[in-house]
Amino acid sequence: MTTALITHPACLRHEPPPGHPERPARLQSILTALEADEFRPLVRREAPEASLDQLSRVHDRDYAKEVLAAIPTRGVAHFDADTAVSPGSRDAILRAAGAVVEGVDMVMKGEVKNVFCAVRPPGHHALPDRAMGFCLFNNVAVGAAHARAVHGLERVAVIDFDVHHGNGTEAMFFSDPSLFYASTHQWPFYPGTGRPGEARPENIVDLPLPAGAGGAEFRRAFSETLLPALTTFRPDMVFISAGFDAHQDDPLGQMRLVESDYFWATQVLCEVAARQCAGRVVSTLEGGYDLDALARSARVHVQALMAA
Ligand SMILES: [Zn+2]
């Protein structure tokens, strides 16, 4: 059993204005890195488009329709200062969410043991009824909802190691104890949620880390809090919101992770999945804005998925 790589060329054609950090070159740098010989065993699959019904499991149906109706035929249309769409965005956002849905289907059919979805735009800031922080649809949450609705999985977990708190995913998961969301993130930082000392239900585990935190603090948060909580939750499937912007070279974040931290985090999450849910892991790209660090980090992430 191997690992699937799900992507689509349409994800290169979502084009925010020039100078925007969330640019097509991000995905291209990852895809180029994954062309190396060592990745030949990957099962490569083109992402299908998510349907309105699939999106509407986590988004307001009217919001999903509004997003699609707002795609311009030329130029860009802004949802907020950070979040813009271009003519190519319709296909990109539908296939980014569809990739995670397809990943769930592949794992549940036993075609592969785990999946990496190399897609953009990212999704974890997208709220049920609002785009923000480069995100239009919440790709990982759409996949998690699909796993429950179509495959009958009861308990699904999302682990988010992006440098930013995944406020959208947390909002979607907050009041349902059979959904689990855990995040390591820089705090204080955008978007301002996931702060220390906040009252949270047991299924939400926020682990804010200060600017400058590196592998030692990150691994301690995983080992002491995140992994035990995930184990206690007993997931039927583990999703990873794989943002690589906590890397020390990233221009947006101020954390100091390196590739070996991402390899380790992927490995320990796969170990929990192996013990609890037959190794079922579906990972999807979130942030990461230094092209070289992003490519190197995604490379070790996929290496760890393949080695699981
Ligand atoms: Zn981020």
Query: pLDDT tens for residues 114-173?
Result: 999 999 999 999 999 999 999 999 999 999 999 999 999 999 999 999 999 999 999 999
Residue type (1 letter), 293: A
Among all residues, which ones are annotated catalytic? Answer: 125
Which positions of the chain have pLDDT values less than 70? Answer: none
CA of 248 to the centre of ligand 1 (A): 13
pLDDT reported for residue 133: 98
What is the reported pLDDT for 251? 98
pLDDT score recorded for residue 255: 98
- pLDDT score recorded for residue 298: 99
Distance 245 CA to ligand 1 centre (A): 6
pLDDT score, position 206: 98
- The pLDDT of residue 163 is 98
pLDDT number for residue 1? 77
Question: What is the pTM (predicted TM-score) of this model?
Answer: 0.99
Q: How far is the CA of 185 from the centre of ligand 1 (A)?
A: 9
